[in-house]
Amino acid sequence: MIELELSLMSHGPGPHPLLQEALHAFEAENDVRVHLRYLAWETGRSELVSFALSKHSPDVSEIGTTWLSSFAAMDALRPFAAAEVANLDFATFIPASWESGAMPGGQIYSIPWMADARSVFYRRDVLAAHGIDEATAFTRPKMQSTLGRLQAAGVAVPWVAATHRTSTIIHNVASWVWDAGGHFMSDDGRRPRFHEPAAKEGIYNYFTYQFPYMPPQAYNLTDDESSAMFLRGEATGTIGGYWILSGVANGQAAAVVVDNLGMTVLPLVPYVGGSNLVVWKYSRHPQAAVRLVKYLTDYQVQANVVRQIGLLPARLDVLGEPPFSTDPRYQVIRQSLLTGRCFKSLYLWGLVEEKLIGAIDALWHELFQDPALDLRKAIDRQIDPIAERLARTLAADN
């Protein structure tokens, strides 16, 4: 009997009965035994790098959508042949999710598994108490005035956001950069563009649309901490993903939040993230591994399993059915998934992401220390040296 190892990221307490049931069905149909391993998000990327370096890995792994380029550059992944993805193409999946699985030139290295997109979450009762129309409160023209009115009325925490050094900082910055017409890299990944005026304007907007409406108790929070503050009812609005709805469903939210939770599409270009499935180059059973990937991304598993164990299904046909087509909250997420963008899998993207996360983190700390900071000069000081060093690195590698 063929034995496969599948590593998945931990999306919450396991084991997950529906996933186990699905894997047992695959095993019976294919005369295969699947050994399941969970990795924590906090350490998962480094563990996967260890797999690549040691050339001893699982057969199939779930990876974050922004991690692909690093493993492809290490020549650690088995690309999918055209025949293998004949029925698994962009018409099946969220466009941004499918795009995240391809390297420049179009070679497919990963297949979408789970998806998530940023949306605005807010307290309907707080807006109503201050005469603010929720239909327009967080549109692009009115977001700042909404938060300003809440602040002037004495609302303790009009807004909360993740500001502690974390990978999702750059995911949130991306929406503001794209909204301003900016880019992070050239299409071929060989030239930095995050230091160009449009990108810097987006970074500037990212801070000025949020920081003035965040009191000190909302400073320096991780994703989990900022989401928890909102779920406890201590903040009026935030940007988050599906995990906010999961927190409400799982009893992690105060009753007042459960009763008054509002959602709307981010008034920018939503970032679409999530995870994909890859087959490692070192798999001893690549054909069986590919069958496992196809099975896990099939309609039945996506419809019945994925939403129960983690984020959202990446298949368009599943997103076209209830609850995504009928529940107003899921409709917001669906719209965000369909209109959002991902980070392209480009050469050295992992390095770019790491450096920019550090720069944004430093800028937050500068603002916390000095709210009167000349932010545009500070952005120049943090961003320009990174772009210069990266440009030299890329030029040397050409």
Predicted local distance difference test score (pLDDT) of residue 124: 98
Segment 142-170 mean pLDDT? 94
Residue 189 zone, left/alpha/beta (φ > 0; ψ -120 to 50; rest): left
Give the C-alpha separation, 299 to 283, whole Å. Answer: 25
So where are the chain's domains?
2-115+273-339, 119-161+210-269
pLDDT of 198 above 90: yes
What was the pLDDT predicted at 167?
A: 77
> Is there a shared CATH topology between the 2-115+273-339 domain and the 119-161+210-269 domain?
yes
51-55, 87-91, 107-111, 170-174: the lowest-pLDDT one: 87-91
Can you read off the two tokens belonging to residue 376? 């545009």
pLDDT value for 309: 82
* 146 within 8 A of 132, measured Cβ to Cβ: yes
Tokens representing 266 are 């981010």
Mean pLDDT of the region 151-179: 93
Residue 14 has a pLDDT of 64
**How high is the mean pLDDT of the chain?**
92
For Cα atoms 58, 91, 278, give the angle at the middle one, nearest 5 degrees. 10
The pLDDT score that the predictor gives to residue 350 is 84
Q: Is the pTM of this model over 0.85?
A: yes
Question: What is the number of alpha carbons within 13 Å of residue 145 lying toward its C-beta?
Answer: 10
Closest CA to 112 of 126, 94, 133: 94
Q: What are phi and psi of 156, to 5 degrees?
A: -60, -45
Residue 42: per-residue pLDDT:
81
- pLDDT in the model for residue 394: 84
* pLDDT of the residue at 190: 87
Going by their DSSP bridges, the two strands 159-160 and 237-240 should be labelled as parallel
How would you classify the pairing of strands 32-39 and 119-123? unpaired
What pLDDT sits at residue 106? 84
State the pLDDT confidence band at 332, using cuts at 50, 70 and 90. very high
pLDDT on residue 119 = 93
The per-residue pLDDT for range 60-109, each reduced to its tens digit, is: 999 999 899 889 889 999 999 988 888 776 788 999 999 999 888 889 99
Superfamily designation of domain 119-161+210-269 = Periplasmic binding protein-like II (3.40.190.10)
335 sits in which H/E element: helix 328-339
Is 80 exceeded by the pLDDT of residue 237?
yes
Identify whether the C-beta of residue 161 lies closer than 8 Å to the C-beta of residue 172: yes
| Cα dihedral 225→135→318→175 (10° resolution) | -50
Q: State the average pLDDT over residues 29-38.
A: 94
Q: Ranked by mean pLDDT, which of 189-193, 338-342, 363-367 comes out on top?
A: 363-367
Spacing of C-alpha 40 from chain mean position: 16
**pLDDT tier, 15 (very low <50, low <70, confident <90, very high otherwise):** low
Q: Bridge partners of 315? A: 93
Q: Give pLDDT tens digits for 354-392.
A: 999 999 999 999 999 999 999 999 999 999 999 999 999
The model's pLDDT over 291-315, given as tens digits with 9 standing for 90+, comes to 999 999 999 999 999 878 878 999 9
**What pLDDT does residue 24 have?**
95
- Is the domain spanning 2-115+273-339 CATH 3.30.70.270? The answer is no
Q: What is the pLDDT of residue 174?
A: 95
pLDDT number for residue 36 = 94
Does the pLDDT value for residue 242 go beyond 80?
yes
> In whole angstroms, what is the distance from residue 270 CA to residue 175 CA?
6
Could you read off the pLDDT of 251-275 as tens digits, one per residue? Answer: 999 999 999 999 999 989 999 999 9
Give the model's confidence band at 250: pLDDT under 50 very low, under 70 low, under 90 confident, else very high: confident
In the chain, % of residues over pLDDT 70: 98
Q: What is the pLDDT of residues 118-142, one digit of tens each?
A: 999 999 999 999 999 999 999 989 9
The two structure tokens encoding residue 107: 């070679």
- DSSP state, 165? S
The pLDDT value recorded for residue 187 is 87
* Cα dihedral 55→60→64→65 (10° resolution): 100
Mean per-residue pLDDT, 270-285: 94
Q: What is the pLDDT of residue 95?
A: 93
